[in-house]
């Protein structure tokens, strides 16, 4: 498996073998001269056994890294890889191959006067003799670099035992250190040319709007005919900054678009998306840049990051850990992850992407499942669910959503992951409708905790998507900050001193636990992304303490549905599936207050979710839509 190279990892092999190759087969060592090394960037881009320290490469520059510049501009360097199939580059241990490389100009013509230095960077894995003959010595990753003048390209391949599966190969002048591992796949079941366009989520600090020229894509086979297995080539792309910023001002996502000349229905084509954050990664040339087009609502093909560790680091679905990291925490967490797959399969088979099953935001559930596993199927299902909900409910009703049918996070993610402006518009339009509750947002005769949660969440999501581009003309212009500030004040006033969020809409001044949980989730988001207001922490603490002290049933390991305020009403039954809507606040409180009791209580709540009724449609979503955030903040 490819991985990023730690900065101070050291080469295990004691030397680098090099051979100077030219069209005339001139290997006179007198032609070697001292020059700046371009090998460090290439070598660091891939790492495995025998990883290379760039300082060591630089120390060997004088002997191996440059040849005289004869003045003819070099556009590319091409490797000749012996008898290896051009699109299936692996070498069995013990086998031999003959390697060479040559320089070409921008018209694709050979430049015979340009001598090329070819290096085996990991001779413990692959030895290279003076004539370019190579022997695979041990399983691992071999790396060859070729340099002519100031131009360097490289190729990586795997040396394998007899029956290993194909892996990514990498070549090009794009620096892939810190780049995003991606793969192209299509979802329409067709074969042939296809437009690819996807929003790529970004980690905080990774990229700013002024640095888009440094974003570069390499895929196996290149964009004209990408395919699994094979040497990578740079693909011409359009890159657009999407609206929305991380708290540090960096981009939350970019839209990357390109045209794939041919792509099979089942092809999965790996590659790298370099973000231009390293000095060694030069801006995209004009030949690798195309004009953007209107994004697709449900793309026929997508370019998606494949590493779940990267995806959760982008914060695209809020605080999260990969499913593997979650399962490693213990029995309750492993059980939570194990129960998901069979339940999800049953519900998808029976319900598909029908929007009526998006209650409690199943689109968000699917996007979170994708981010935590890297499984692109979940991305596609989340995209379908978000679009169907937006089109068939929100747009069909002129965005007049009720508070309890407002499921906006999945729609927000759809915008960030496709660039579809209609989803961004939908978030802002629904948020505006829900603000009709705002004048009486602290009145228990007019609202319940779920209404308060959805009003604030809608405004928060619209505010988070506002920076970077104006909304559509159909979105009313309002001061979203002023609206959020007013909502926070009303939220604080709404809570009773004992921590209860009361409502007279059906509970006689009581509180339904899951509604308090939904409001608690919104409080964590406002505190995390908008403003670290100490009143929010106090409000969340009071709510969590009230829930634990009055509605938690230790023997059932779950909360009561409600603490009815009506005299003579029987105590409500335990509802373990609702705990998934409540539990995250306890991890967040443990994190921001340092009080370990909230983690202890949260672990008990999380363990009790093993009793959830996952056969029920809404119960399944309640259990998995946001409970993963408890693990993320724990």
What's the CATH number for 309-468+478-633?
A: 1.50.10.10
- CATH 1.50.10.10-classified regions of the chain: 309-468+478-633
CA dihedral 441→442→443→449, nearest 10 degrees, is 80
pLDDT at 226: 54
Q: pLDDT digit string (tens) for 405-453?
A: 999 999 999 999 999 999 999 999 999 999 999 999 999 999 999 999 9
Q: Where in the chain is the domain with CATH 2.60.40.1080?
A: 17-165
Average pLDDT, the chain: 82
Q: Any idea which of 110-119, 365-374, 615-624 has the lowest mean pLDDT?
A: 110-119
Q: How confident is the model at residue 88 (pLDDT cuts 50, 70, 90)?
A: very low
With 50 as the cut, is the pLDDT of residue 19 above it? no
Residue 509 pLDDT: 86
Residue 562 CA to residue 559 CA, distance in Å, equals 8
- Which token pair is 182? 């991606």
Q: How confident is the model at residue 161 (pLDDT cuts 50, 70, 90)?
A: low
- pLDDT over 90 (residue 479): yes
> How far is the C-alpha of 483 from the C-alpha of 459, rounded, in Å?
7
- Contact indicator for 382, 316 with CB cutoff of 8 Å: no
Task: Provide the b/e sequence for 411-432 (b: ≥16 CB within 10 Å).
Answer: bbbbbbbbbbbbbbbbbbbbbb
pLDDT tens for each residue of 569-617: 656 778 898 999 999 999 999 999 999 999 999 999 999 999 999 999 9
The 10s digit of each residue's pLDDT in 181-219 is 999 999 999 999 999 999 999 999 889 999 999 899 988
Alpha-carbon separation of residue 394 from 19, 129, 309, 420, 564 (angstroms)? 65, 67, 33, 15, 33
The lowest-confidence range among 45-54, 95-104, 175-184, 468-477 is 45-54
Q: How far apart are CA 520 and CA 583, in angstroms?
A: 9
Beta carbons within 8 Å of 176's beta carbon, 6+ residues apart: 45, 46, 170, 218, 272, 274
58-69 pLDDT, tens digit each: 333 333 334 444
Q: In this model, does residue 384 exceed pLDDT 90? A: yes
CATH topology of domain 17-165: Immunoglobulin-like (2.60.40)
Between 41 and 515, whose confidence is greater? 515
pLDDT of residue 58: 36
> What distances in angstroms separate CA 548 from CA 449, 563, 579, 580, one per listed residue?
17, 12, 12, 15
Q: In the structure, what pLDDT confidence band is assigned to residue 227 with cuts at 50, 70 and 90?
A: low
């Amino acid at each position: 498996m490819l991985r990023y190279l730690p900065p101070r990892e050291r080469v295990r092999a004691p030397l680098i073998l090099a051979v100077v190759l030219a069209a005339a087969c001139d290997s006179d060592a007198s032609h070697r001269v001292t020059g700046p090394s371009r090998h460090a960037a290439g070598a660091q881009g891939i790492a495995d056994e025998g990883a290379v320290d760039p300082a060591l490469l630089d120390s060997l520059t004088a002997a191996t890294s440059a040849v005289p510049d004869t003045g003819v501009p070099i556009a590319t360097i091409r490797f000749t890889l012996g008898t290896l199939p051009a699109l299936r580059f692996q070498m069995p241990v013990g086998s031999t191959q003959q390697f060479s490389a040559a320089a070409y100009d921008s018209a694709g013509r050979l430049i015979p006067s340009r001598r090329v230095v070819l290096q085996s960077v990991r001779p413990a894995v692959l030895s290279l003799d003076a004539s370019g003959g190579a022997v695979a010595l041990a399983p691992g990753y071999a790396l060859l670099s070729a340099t002519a003048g100031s131009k360097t390209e490289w190729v990586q391949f795997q040396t394998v035992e007899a029956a290993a599966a194909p892996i990514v190969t990498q070549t090009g002048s794009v620096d892939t250190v810190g780049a995003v591992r991606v793969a192209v796949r299509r979802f329409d079941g067709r074969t042939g040319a296809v437009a690819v366009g996807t929003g790529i989520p970004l980690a905080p600090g990774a990229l700013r709007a002024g640095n888009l020229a440094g974003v570069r894509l390499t895929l196996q086979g290149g964009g004209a005919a990408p395919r699994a297995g094979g040497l990578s080539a740079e693909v011409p792309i359009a890159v657009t900054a999407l609206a929305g910023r991380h708290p540090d001002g960096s981009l939350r996502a970019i839209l990357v678009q390109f045209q794939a000349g041919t792509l099979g229905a089942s092809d999965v084509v790996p590659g790298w998306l370099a973000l231009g954050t390293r000095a060694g990664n030069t801006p995209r040339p004009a030949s690798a840049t195309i004009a953007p087009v209107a994004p697709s609502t449900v793309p026929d093909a997508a370019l998606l990051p494949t590493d779940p560790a990267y995806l959760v680091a982008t914060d695209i679905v809020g605080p999260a850990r990969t499913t593997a990291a979650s399962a490693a925490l213990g029995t309750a967490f492993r059980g939570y992850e194990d129960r998901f797959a069979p339940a999800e399969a049953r519900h998808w088979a029976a319900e598909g992407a029908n929007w009526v099953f998006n209650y409690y935001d199943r689109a968000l559930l699917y996007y979170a499942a994708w981010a935590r596993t890297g499984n692109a199927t979940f991305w596609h299902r989340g995209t379908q669910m978000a679009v169907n909900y937006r089109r068939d409910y929100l747009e069909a009703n002129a965005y007049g959503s009720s508070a309890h049918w407002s499921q906006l996070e999945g729609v927000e993610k759809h915008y960030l992951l496709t660039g579809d402006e209609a989803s961004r518009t939908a978030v802002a339009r629904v948020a505006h409708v829900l603000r009709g509750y705002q004048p009486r947002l602290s009145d228990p005769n007019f609202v319940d905790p779920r209404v308060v949660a959805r009003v604030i969440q809608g405004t928060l999501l619209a505010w988070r998507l506002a920076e970077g581009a104006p909304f559509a003309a159909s979105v009313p212009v309002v001061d979203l900050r002023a609206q959020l500030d007013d909502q926070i004040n009303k939220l604080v006033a709404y809570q009773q001193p004992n921590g209860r969020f009361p409502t007279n809409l059906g509970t006689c001044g009581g509180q339904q636990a899951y509604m308090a949980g939904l409001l608690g989730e919104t409080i964590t988001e406002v505190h995390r992304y908008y403003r670290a207001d100490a009143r929010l922490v106090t409000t969340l603490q009071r709510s969590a303490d009230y829930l634990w002290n009055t509605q938690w049933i230790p023997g059932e390991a779950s909360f009561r549905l409600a603490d009815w305020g009506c005299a003579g009403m029987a105590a409500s039954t335990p509802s373990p599936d609702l705990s998934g809507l409540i539990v995250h606040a306890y991890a967040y409180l443990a994190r921001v207050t340092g009080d370990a009791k909230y983690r202890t209580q949260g672990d008990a709540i999380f363990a009790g979710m093993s009793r959830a009724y996952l056969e029920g449609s809404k119960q399944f979503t309640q259990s998995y839509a946001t409970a993963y955030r408890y693990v993320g903040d724990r």
